[in-house]
Structure 1
Amino acid sequence: MIPTDSTVSSPDSAAAERFSTTQTVALAVLLTANFTLAVDFSILTVALPPIGRELGVDGAGLQWIVTVFAVCAASFTLFFGRVADLFGRKRVFLAGIVLLGLASLAGGLATTPAVLLAARAGQGIATAMVTPAALALMTTMFPEGPTRSRALGLNGALMAAGFTTGAILGGMITGSVSWRWAFLLNVAIAAVALAAGVFVLREPSRTSRPRLDAVGAFTVTAALVALVLGIDSAGRDGWAHPRTWGALVIAVVLVVVFLLVERRSADPLVAPAMLRRKSIAWGNLAGLLAFATETSLVFVLTLYLQEILGFDPLTAGLILGLLGIGTVLGGLIAPRVIGRIGARTAIVLSLSAQAAVTFPLAFVSPHGSWVVPLLILTFLGGVANLVAIVGYVVTATADVPADQQGLATGLVTMSQQVGIALGTPVMAAVVAAFAAAGLLRGVQAAIAVNAAIALATAIAIAVALRLPRRRRRDRADVVSVP
Structure 2
Amino acid sequence: MNVVRAQTDGPAHRAARPGAVLAALAAAQFTVMLATSIVNVALPQIRAGVGLSDGATTWVVNAYGLAFGALLLAGGRVADLLGRRRVLAAGLALFALASLASGLATSSGGLIAARAVQGVGAAAIAPASLALALGRFPSGPGRGRALGVWGAVSGAGGAAGVLLGGALTQAWGWPWIFHSVALGAVLVLAAVVALVPEAAGQRAGRFDLLGTATVTLALTCLVWGLTTARGTGWTDAGVLGALGAGAALLAAFVVIELRRPNALVPPRLFATGRVAAGNLLMALLGSVWIALFFFLPLYQQQVLGSGPLATGAGQLPFAAANMLGAALAPRVSRRIGAPATVVTALLTEAAGLLWLSRISADGSYVGDVLGPSILVGLGLSVAFVQLTALAVEGVPQEDAGLAGGLVNTTRQVGGAIGLAALTTLAGSVTARAAGRTPHLEALTAGYRTAFTVSAAVLAATAVLALLLTRRAGARTAAASPHPAAGPRASRSPARG
TM-score normalised per structure 1: 0.89
2:461 is aligned with what amino acid?
A: T
Tell me how far 1:50 sits from its aligned partner.
3.0
Output the CA distance in 1 between the equivalents of 2:429 and 2:178. Answer: 39
What residue in structure 2 maps to residue 3 of structure 1? Answer: none
2:441 paired with 1:441: no
2:466 is aligned with what amino acid?
A: A
1:76 counterpart SS class: helix
- Equivalenced residues, count: 461
Output the CA distance in 2 between the equivalents of 1:444 and 1:152. Answer: 32
What residue in structure 1 maps to residue 329 of structure 2? Answer: 334
1:267-278 superposed matches below 5 A = 267-275=262-270, 277-278=272-273
1:383 counterpart SS class: helix
Greater mean deviation of Cα atoms: 186-195 or 209-218: 186-195
What residue in structure 2 maps to residue 90 of structure 1? Answer: 85
What residue in structure 1 maps to residue 348 of structure 2? Answer: 353
Greater mean deviation of Cα atoms: 407-416 or 431-440: 431-440
Output the CA distance in 1 between the equivalents of 2:195 and 2:27. Answer: 14
What residue in structure 2 maps to residue 232 of structure 1? Answer: 227
Greater mean deviation of Cα atoms: 29-38 or 430-439: 430-439
1:69-468 superposed matches below 5 A = 69-206=64-201, 208-275=203-270, 277-368=272-363, 371-435=366-430, 436-437=432-433, 438-466=442-470, 467=473, 468=476
Greater mean deviation of Cα atoms: 20-29 or 444-453: 20-29
Instruction: Tell me: CA distance 1:245–1:334, structure 2 relative to 1, closer, same or farther (3 Å).
Output: same
Q: Deviations over 1:274-296 (max 9, x none)?
A: 24642111111111221221331
Instruction: Tell me: CA distance 1:85–1:122, structure 2 relative to 1, closer, same or farther (3 Å).
Output: same
Instruction: Tell me: CA distance 1:164–1:472, structure 2 relative to 1, closer, same or farther (3 Å).
Output: farther
Output the CA distance in 2 between the equivalents of 1:190 and 1:471. Answer: 43
Tell me how far 1:305 sits from its aligned partner.
3.4
Instruction: Tell me: CA distance 1:372–1:472, structure 2 relative to 1, closer, same or farther (3 Å).
Output: farther
Q: Deviations over 1:83-105 (max 9, x none)?
A: 11111111111111111122223
Q: Deviations over 1:148-167 (max 9, x none)?
A: 11111111111111112312
1:214 is aligned with what amino acid?
A: L
Question: Contact 2:37–2:161 at 8 Å: present in 1 too?
Answer: yes
Greater mean deviation of Cα atoms: 464-473 or 24-33: 464-473
What residue in structure 1 maps to residue 33 of structure 2? Answer: 38
1:460 is aligned with what amino acid?
A: L
2:394 counterpart SS class: coil
Tell me how far 1:21 sits from its aligned partner.
5.0
Instruction: Tell me: CA distance 1:145–1:310, structure 2 relative to 1, closer, same or farther (3 Å).
Output: same
Q: Deviations over 1:99-125 (max 9, x none)?
A: 112222322333333332232122101
Output the CA distance in 2 between the equivalents of 1:388 and 1:183. Answer: 30
2:399 is aligned with what amino acid?
A: Q
Instruction: Tell me: CA distance 1:59–1:357, structure 2 relative to 1, closer, same or farther (3 Å).
Output: closer
2:412 is aligned with what amino acid?
A: Q
Unaligned runs of 5+ in 1: 1-18
Output the CA distance in 2 between the equivalents of 1:359 and 1:430. Answer: 17
Question: Contact 1:359–1:447 at 8 Å: present in 2 too?
Answer: yes
Alpha carbon RMSD of aligned pairs, Å?
2.4
1:465 counterpart SS class: helix
Tell me how far 1:473 sits from its aligned partner.
4.3
Q: Deviations over 1:284-337 (max 9, x none)?
A: 111122122133134333444344444444434433442222212211211212
Greater mean deviation of Cα atoms: 99-108 or 34-43: 99-108
Output the CA distance in 2 between the equivalents of 1:445 and 1:174. Answer: 30
Question: Contact 2:60–2:112 at 8 Å: present in 1 too?
Answer: yes
Question: Contact 2:225–2:242 at 8 Å: present in 1 too?
Answer: yes
Output the CA distance in 2 between the equivalents of 1:233 and 1:274. Answer: 32
Instruction: Tell me: CA distance 1:164–1:48, structure 2 relative to 1, closer, same or farther (3 Å).
Output: same
Q: Deviations over 1:245-264 (max 9, x none)?
A: 22111110010010111111
Instruction: Tell me: CA distance 1:191–1:315, structure 2 relative to 1, closer, same or farther (3 Å).
Output: closer
Instruction: Tell me: CA distance 1:233–1:209, structure 2 relative to 1, closer, same or farther (3 Å).
Output: same
Question: Contact 2:132–2:199 at 8 Å: present in 1 too?
Answer: no
1:266 counterpart SS class: coil
TM-score normalised per structure 2: 0.87
2:370 is aligned with what amino acid?
A: L
Question: Contact 1:43–1:167 at 8 Å: present in 2 too?
Answer: yes
Greater mean deviation of Cα atoms: 413-422 or 380-389: 413-422
Tell me how far 1:370 sits from its aligned partner.
7.8
Unaligned runs of 5+ in 2: 1-13, 434-441, 478-485
Tell me how far 1:411 sits from its aligned partner.
0.6
What residue in structure 2 maps to residue 59 of structure 1? Answer: 54
What residue in structure 1 maps to residue 436 of structure 2? Answer: none
What residue in structure 2 maps to residue 9 of structure 1? Answer: none
| Structure 1 residue runs of 4 or more that deviate by more than 6 Å after TM superposition | 474-477
Tell me how far 1:414 sits from its aligned partner.
0.9
Question: Contact 2:282–2:407 at 8 Å: present in 1 too?
Answer: yes
Instruction: Tell me: CA distance 1:441–1:276, structure 2 relative to 1, closer, same or farther (3 Å).
Output: farther
What residue in structure 2 maps to residue 7 of structure 1? Answer: none
Question: Contact 1:145–1:474 at 8 Å: present in 2 too?
Answer: no
Instruction: Tell me: CA distance 1:447–1:325, structure 2 relative to 1, closer, same or farther (3 Å).
Output: same
Output the CA distance in 1 between the equivalents of 2:189 and 2:308. Answer: 35
Output the CA distance in 1 between the equivalents of 2:66 and 2:294. Answer: 19
2:234 counterpart SS class: coil
